[in-house]
Chains A and B, each alone.
Chain A
Amino acid sequence: MGDPDATLRFPHRHILGIAGLARDEIAFLLDLADSYVDQNRRADKKNAVLRGRTLINLFFEDSTRTRTSFELAGKRLGADVINMSVATSAVKKGETLIDTAMTLNAMHLDVLVVRHAASGAVHLLADKVDCAVVNAGDGSHEHPTQALLDALTIRRRKGGLEGLLVAICGDILHSRVARSNMLLLQTMGARVRVVAPATLLPAAIGRYGVEVHHDMRTGLADADIVMMLRLQLERMNGSFLPSIREYFRFFGLDYAKLGVAKPDALIMHPGPINRGVEIDSELADDINRSVIREQVEMGVAVRMACLDALMRNAPSNAGG
């Protein structure tokens, strides 16, 4: 970990999105994360890379798993971790996002992990705070650590990302996971397809350079990776989709639809799963096909790598 070139290899103050990350920077994060996978499997899972550092998880949107993952990542690197959720924050009392940033600055923290329902809210905070910021998901914009953990999962299973065919299926329109993954996977040389009803695709999806499919039979054909997205239940009230049963019939992943993918195709899902909505329950639990639990494990390692990389760039004497 005492890499003298680290600052050069990852010259960023924040991780706000996959957009702006170069291929070798992503590879650097994935390599670093690989080493943390090994560390996390040992009995002694801690090191002291972030000793003395303060990390705040600032979640304006509920998320047990992502918040826990960042909390574990911080603690295993020796940082002091504090969770602030919206329910207890001053936001409820009318404090603006900028006010929150000013308050946090006064606390001299080192890393701020932010989730917010509004696209761009994390960028706004990053402009105003003195510390490093990691985007833990902002609106429908980006969720960079999810894309990184997906990439790490795929890379460890398939040996690399170059040339793989990845089908991302479901609610692309509202998905920050899809946006970050489309960027990351293509940067790393994978081919990306999106499969969704036209009502769940953003208007300019063609500008992402991905193949667009409306039919799982063509969209999954010969895919190496089938990445399912979580469908928010409020999308199913008839404005975007007519019903759950129709969605599952045409866009829910089951063994029949998976049949056209490669025989060793892996199934991924950012969680939590809506069983029987976007994925067949049995298939989600099929240890030969589904790597959903592995994604959770990779999540902690990837977040450790992100925190580590950012702190190598941070001033060693905060405020100095």
Chain B
Amino acid sequence: MASEGRRTAYVNARLLDPASGLDRAGALLVEGKRIVDLGPGLFADGVPGGVALVDCGGACLAPGLIDLRVQLREPGEEHKETIESGCAAAAAGGVTSMVCLPNTSPPIDDVSVVEFIARRAREVGTVKVFAYGAATQGCRGEQIAEMGILAEAGAVAFTDGVRAIANAQVMRRALAYAKTFGLLIVQHAEEPALATSGVMNEGEIATRLGLAGITPAAEAILLERDMRLVALTGARYHAAHVATAEGVAVIRAAKARGLPVTADTAPPYFLLNDTAVGDYRSFARLSPPLRSEDDRKAVEAGLLDRTIDCIASDHAPQDQDAKRLPFAQAEPGAVGLETLLALALSLVHNRRAGLLDVLRLLSLRPAEIMGFPAGRLAPGAPADLVLFDPARPWRIEPERFRSKSKNSPFDRHPTQGRVLRTVVDGATVYSAGADATRG
């Protein structure tokens, strides 16, 4: 941990700040837990004595990634992931803050669980872990949870996690109740009546494989309903992992109407389509499911035109027992913390977006949505940083993940963009090696 007032200079860096649009070679000075200065001219005359030096070797220095959708599985399913292993995975992925879903066991619908997670994260002492509170008691979608008390205990927003808040009256009251305290509701927008019997995208592949499909309308139907409830209540709403063209269109129209709505998606939804299911690859079983190529393109377009505000990892660890099953019986979900940056950077490498645009999706916007002070390089901001080489090629090898679970649909995919160092509150929590970092 950085001792109080200790100063560290990051020199020879490509400074990237999506908030200000800064993209220049320069240096950055950290004192204690905060950024105190940065710019192209900083330390032009050398670094003064008593300041620790990190030579960035020309690599990119940007605000640390902020991941709005992570399942840490603790408490309850520690064989899949723990707060400690999840933090290690996050640090390796350049993630400096993450928000974990409430579908633990017990669920995060009680102050004691919020406090437990905060205590475990404090003991691990690396990446900042924030918790969603359950929007309804037990995430059962029936009775609204103690959002006021949970928010006081530290819950940053409210969701039923991997389950949709399906009942319209419950959703209306959850939104109205959240509005009472100025809180955000996050929805897994998938109409369960249409989704629960299906296991993948409804279409030709599902038909040929003989698997039960989920119509893409399941997403648009719930989003459309929710937009009306948002208009009715005035509450803030965030749509998680948007995956269909129709869903993107609903969010786009809602934003045009001025509704207080934001959205995220995850790399599988703008990089893969339902052909990834191939011969019943259970690692490609996700919730919501991988959609068609047209949907994938629409999600990508939504990211580029800012309809979708941010990219989250949607980290959903599953052990082998949960995945080595016939496709329809396998648990949905994929790990994503350690591949988030590289996969998001494919938007840059495919010439779809600029580096600052992608960083905006990974740090600035998620911070703004949650009201975190991080997500920017600015004097006074927390020294939560990621140092990365955007071009370095590597192959995704899940057996090397720090996460306890290895379920990635990107297994063996070649990719580009490597995290070199991750800094949280001024302290280095991950370093890829000494090659790019001296001092």
Give the interface of A toward B (CB within 8 A). Answer: 197-199, 214, 237-243, 245-246, 249-250
For B180, list chain A residues within 8 Å (CB): 197-199, 214
Which segment, of B60-68, B141-149, B423-431, faces chain A? B141-149
Which partner residue on chain A sits nearest B234 by CB separation? A198
For B143, list chain A residues within 8 Å (CB): 237-239, 242
| Complex-state Cα separation, A249 to B147, whole angstroms | 12
Which residues in window 146-176 of B have CB below 8 A to A? Answer: 146-149, 169-170, 173, 176
* A242/B170 in contact, CB under 8 A: no
Contact of B270 with A by CB under 8 A: no
The digit string for B178-214, where 1 denotes a CB below 8 A from any CB of A, is 0111000000000000000000000000000000000
> Can you identify 27 A-B contacts, CB atoms within 8 angstroms?
A197-B177, A197-B180, A198-B176, A198-B179, A198-B180, A199-B144, A199-B173, A199-B180, A214-B181, A237-B143, A238-B137, A238-B142, A238-B144, A239-B143, A239-B169, A242-B137, A242-B143, A242-B144, A242-B147, A242-B177, A245-B149, A246-B146, A246-B147, A246-B149, A249-B148, A250-B148, A250-B181
For A198, list chain B residues within 8 Å (CB): 176-177, 179-180, 233
| Complex-state Cα separation, A241 to B170, whole angstroms | 11
| Complex-state Cα separation, A249 to B180, whole angstroms | 14
* A240/B146 in contact, CB under 8 A: no
For A240, list chain B residues within 8 Å (CB): 173
Asked, given contacts A198-B180, A198-B233, whether A241 binds B144 with beta carbons under 8 Å apart, the answer is yes
- Min Cβ gap A207→B in Å is 16
* A199/B148 in contact, CB under 8 A: no
| Complex-state Cα separation, A209 to B146, whole angstroms | 30
* A239/B148 in contact, CB under 8 A: no
* B145/A199 in contact, CB under 8 A: no
* B137/A246 in contact, CB under 8 A: no
* B148/A246 in contact, CB under 8 A: yes
Which partner residue on chain A sits nearest B169 by CB separation? A239
B contact patch SS: helix
Interface centre among B145, B146, B233 (most CB of A within 10 A): B146
Ordered nearest first, which 8 A-B pairs have the shortest CB separation? Answer: A238-B143, A198-B176, A197-B180, A242-B146, A246-B146, A214-B180, A198-B180, A199-B176
- Min Cβ gap A232→B in Å is 16
Which residues in window 244-299 of B have CB below 8 A to A? Answer: none
| Complex-state Cα separation, A237 to B170, whole angstroms | 12
Taking A197-B177, A241-B144, A242-B145 as given, write out 8 further A-B residue pairs in contact, using a Cβ cutoff of 8 Å, ordered by the A residue number. Answer: A198-B177, A199-B180, A238-B137, A238-B143, A242-B144, A245-B149, A246-B148, A246-B149
| Complex-state Cα separation, A44 to B143, whole angstroms | 55
The digit string for B107-124, where 1 denotes a CB below 8 A from any CB of A, is 000000000000000000
| Complex-state Cα separation, A21 to B169, whole angstroms | 36
- Min Cβ gap A247→B in Å is 9
For A250, list chain B residues within 8 Å (CB): 148, 181
* B177/A199 in contact, CB under 8 A: yes
| Complex-state Cα separation, A240 to B173, whole angstroms | 7
* A245/B177 in contact, CB under 8 A: no
Interface centre among A199, A214, A240, A242 (most CB of B within 10 A): A242
- Min Cβ gap B230→A in Å is 13
- Min Cβ gap A216→B in Å is 11
For B179, list chain A residues within 8 Å (CB): 198, 214
- Min Cβ gap A272→B in Å is 26
| Complex-state Cα separation, A245 to B153, whole angstroms | 14
For B147, list chain A residues within 8 Å (CB): 242, 246
| Complex-state Cα separation, A238 to B170, whole angstroms | 9
* B173/A239 in contact, CB under 8 A: yes
Which partner residue on chain A sits nearest B109 by CB separation? A242
- Min Cβ gap A250→B in Å is 5
Which partner residue on chain A sits nearest B173 by CB separation? A199
For A239, list chain B residues within 8 Å (CB): 143-144, 169-170, 173
- Min Cβ gap B175→A in Å is 8
For B142, list chain A residues within 8 Å (CB): 238
For A246, list chain B residues within 8 Å (CB): 146-149
For B136, list chain A residues within 8 Å (CB): 238
For B144, list chain A residues within 8 Å (CB): 199, 238-239, 241-242
| Complex-state Cα separation, A249 to B170, whole angstroms | 22
For A242, list chain B residues within 8 Å (CB): 137, 143-148, 177
Which partner residue on chain A sits nearest B145 by CB separation? A242
Which partner residue on chain B sits nearest A250 by CB separation? B148
| Complex-state Cα separation, A186 to B187, whole angstroms | 41
For A197, list chain B residues within 8 Å (CB): 176-177, 180
For B169, list chain A residues within 8 Å (CB): 239
| Complex-state Cα separation, A77 to B134, whole angstroms | 58
| Complex-state Cα separation, A214 to B144, whole angstroms | 17
- Min Cβ gap B143→A in Å is 2
* A245/B146 in contact, CB under 8 A: yes
| Complex-state Cα separation, A250 to B152, whole angstroms | 11
Which partner residue on chain A sits nearest B174 by CB separation? A199
Which residues in window 22-46 of B have CB below 8 A to A? Answer: none
Which partner residue on chain B sits nearest A203 by CB separation? B232
| Complex-state Cα separation, A250 to B150, whole angstroms | 12
Of A199, A237, A243, which one neighbours B146 at CB under 8 angstroms? A243
Interface centre among A199, A249, A250 (most CB of B within 10 A): A199
| Complex-state Cα separation, A237 to B137, whole angstroms | 11
| Complex-state Cα separation, A307 to B136, whole angstroms | 49
| Complex-state Cα separation, A246 to B143, whole angstroms | 13
Which partner residue on chain A sits nearest B233 by CB separation? A198
| Complex-state Cα separation, A146 to B212, whole angstroms | 60
- Min Cβ gap A281→B in Å is 21
* B149/A249 in contact, CB under 8 A: yes
- Min Cβ gap A199→B in Å is 5
Which partner residue on chain B sits nearest A236 by CB separation? B143
| Complex-state Cα separation, A249 to B145, whole angstroms | 14
| Complex-state Cα separation, A239 to B145, whole angstroms | 9
| Complex-state Cα separation, A214 to B180, whole angstroms | 5
- Min Cβ gap A102→B in Å is 39
| Complex-state Cα separation, A243 to B147, whole angstroms | 10
| Complex-state Cα separation, A8 to B302, whole angstroms | 70
